[in-house]
Amino acid sequence: MEIESVKCECCGLKEDCTQDYISKVKAKFDEKWLCGLCSEAVIDEVSRVKKPSSSSSVGVGGVEEAVKAHMSFCGKFKSNPAFRVADGMRQMLRRRSGDLSSSSTPPSSSKKYTRSASTKLY
Protein backbone atom coordinates (compact mmCIF):
# COMPACT_ATOMS: atom_id res chain seq x y z
CA MET A 1 0.00 0.00 0.00
CA GLU A 2 1.82 3.06 -1.29
CA ILE A 3 1.08 6.54 0.11
CA GLU A 4 1.08 9.50 -2.24
CA SER A 5 0.89 13.23 -1.52
CA VAL A 6 -1.92 14.88 -3.46
CA LYS A 7 -2.99 18.53 -3.70
CA CYS A 8 -6.63 19.66 -3.61
CA GLU A 9 -7.59 21.27 -6.91
CA CYS A 10 -9.89 23.71 -5.11
CA CYS A 11 -8.04 25.01 -2.06
CA GLY A 12 -4.49 23.78 -2.53
CA LEU A 13 -4.20 21.79 0.70
CA LYS A 14 -2.08 18.66 0.51
CA GLU A 15 -3.01 15.26 1.92
CA ASP A 16 -1.21 11.92 2.04
CA CYS A 17 -3.49 9.17 0.72
CA THR A 18 -3.38 5.76 -0.91
CA GLN A 19 -3.73 5.59 -4.68
CA ASP A 20 -6.95 3.60 -4.26
CA TYR A 21 -8.52 6.38 -2.15
CA ILE A 22 -7.31 9.05 -4.60
CA SER A 23 -8.95 7.17 -7.47
CA LYS A 24 -12.24 6.86 -5.58
CA VAL A 25 -12.33 10.59 -4.79
CA LYS A 26 -11.50 11.55 -8.38
CA ALA A 27 -14.27 9.26 -9.65
CA LYS A 28 -16.81 11.14 -7.51
CA PHE A 29 -15.69 14.64 -8.48
CA ASP A 30 -15.24 14.86 -12.24
CA GLU A 31 -11.71 13.37 -12.11
CA LYS A 32 -10.54 16.16 -9.79
CA TRP A 33 -8.90 15.52 -6.43
CA LEU A 34 -10.66 17.37 -3.59
CA CYS A 35 -9.58 17.40 0.03
CA GLY A 36 -12.05 16.25 2.68
CA LEU A 37 -13.38 19.74 3.45
CA CYS A 38 -13.83 20.74 -0.18
CA SER A 39 -15.51 17.44 -1.01
CA GLU A 40 -17.98 18.00 1.84
CA ALA A 41 -18.66 21.53 0.59
CA VAL A 42 -19.35 20.19 -2.92
CA ILE A 43 -21.62 17.43 -1.57
CA ASP A 44 -23.46 20.03 0.51
CA GLU A 45 -23.90 22.24 -2.55
CA VAL A 46 -25.24 19.36 -4.63
CA SER A 47 -27.74 18.40 -1.93
CA ARG A 48 -28.78 22.03 -1.38
CA VAL A 49 -29.41 22.70 -5.08
CA LYS A 50 -30.88 19.36 -6.01
CA LYS A 51 -32.78 17.66 -3.19
CA PRO A 52 -32.92 13.97 -4.21
CA SER A 53 -36.30 12.44 -3.47
CA SER A 54 -34.95 8.91 -3.46
CA SER A 55 -31.74 7.13 -2.58
CA SER A 56 -30.56 7.20 -6.21
CA SER A 57 -27.25 8.89 -6.94
CA VAL A 58 -27.07 12.52 -8.02
CA GLY A 59 -26.45 13.11 -11.70
CA VAL A 60 -22.94 13.86 -12.92
CA GLY A 61 -23.96 17.31 -14.19
CA GLY A 62 -24.91 18.39 -10.68
CA VAL A 63 -21.54 17.32 -9.29
CA GLU A 64 -19.64 18.96 -12.15
CA GLU A 65 -21.44 22.26 -11.60
CA ALA A 66 -20.91 22.11 -7.84
CA VAL A 67 -17.19 21.38 -8.29
CA LYS A 68 -16.87 24.32 -10.71
CA ALA A 69 -18.72 26.62 -8.31
CA HIS A 70 -16.57 25.57 -5.36
CA MET A 71 -13.36 25.93 -7.39
CA SER A 72 -14.48 29.43 -8.36
CA PHE A 73 -15.20 30.23 -4.71
CA CYS A 74 -11.77 28.98 -3.62
CA GLY A 75 -10.10 30.88 -6.46
CA LYS A 76 -11.38 34.21 -5.13
CA PHE A 77 -9.02 34.04 -2.16
CA LYS A 78 -5.28 34.51 -2.46
CA SER A 79 -4.31 33.80 1.14
CA ASN A 80 -3.00 30.64 2.78
CA PRO A 81 -5.12 27.59 1.75
CA ALA A 82 -5.91 26.82 5.41
CA PHE A 83 -7.51 30.25 5.84
CA ARG A 84 -9.51 29.79 2.67
CA VAL A 85 -10.84 26.44 3.82
CA ALA A 86 -11.68 27.83 7.26
CA ASP A 87 -13.53 30.76 5.69
CA GLY A 88 -15.42 28.40 3.39
CA MET A 89 -16.49 26.28 6.36
CA ARG A 90 -17.57 29.43 8.22
CA GLN A 91 -19.72 30.51 5.29
CA MET A 92 -21.22 27.05 4.91
CA LEU A 93 -22.14 26.95 8.61
CA ARG A 94 -23.68 30.40 8.41
CA ARG A 95 -25.78 29.28 5.46
CA ARG A 96 -26.93 26.18 7.30
CA SER A 97 -27.75 28.06 10.51
CA GLY A 98 -29.66 30.64 8.45
CA ASP A 99 -31.67 27.87 6.81
CA LEU A 100 -32.47 26.33 10.19
CA SER A 101 -33.45 29.56 11.92
CA SER A 102 -35.63 30.82 9.08
CA SER A 103 -37.55 27.58 8.81
CA SER A 104 -38.06 26.75 12.48
CA THR A 105 -38.59 30.00 14.42
CA PRO A 106 -39.77 33.50 13.60
CA PRO A 107 -37.16 36.28 14.00
CA SER A 108 -38.88 37.81 17.06
CA SER A 109 -38.47 34.61 19.10
CA SER A 110 -34.70 34.40 18.56
CA LYS A 111 -34.03 36.03 21.95
CA LYS A 112 -33.97 32.97 24.16
CA TYR A 113 -32.44 34.46 27.27
CA THR A 114 -34.25 37.74 27.79
CA ARG A 115 -35.97 38.39 31.10
CA SER A 116 -39.22 40.27 31.43
CA ALA A 117 -39.82 42.87 34.15
CA SER A 118 -42.19 40.52 36.00
CA THR A 119 -39.62 37.71 36.37
CA LYS A 120 -38.64 37.16 39.99
CA LEU A 121 -35.40 35.57 41.03
CA TYR A 122 -35.27 33.74 44.37
- Upper half-sphere CA count for residue 69 (Cβ side, 13 Å): 15
* Interval 15-61: pLDDT, tens: 999 999 999 999 999 899 999 989 999 999 888 876 654 444 445 56
**Cα-based angle 34, 82, 79 (whole degrees, multiple of 5):** 110
* Interval 48-90: pLDDT, tens: 876 654 444 445 568 888 998 888 888 776 566 667 677 788 8
Tell how far CA 49 is from the center of its chain.
Answer: 13
Write down the pLDDT at residue 112.
44
Write down the pLDDT at residue 110.
43
Report which of residues 8 and 84 the model is more confident about. Answer: 8
Write down the pLDDT at residue 58.
46
Write down the pLDDT at residue 27.
94
Write down the pLDDT at residue 55.
42
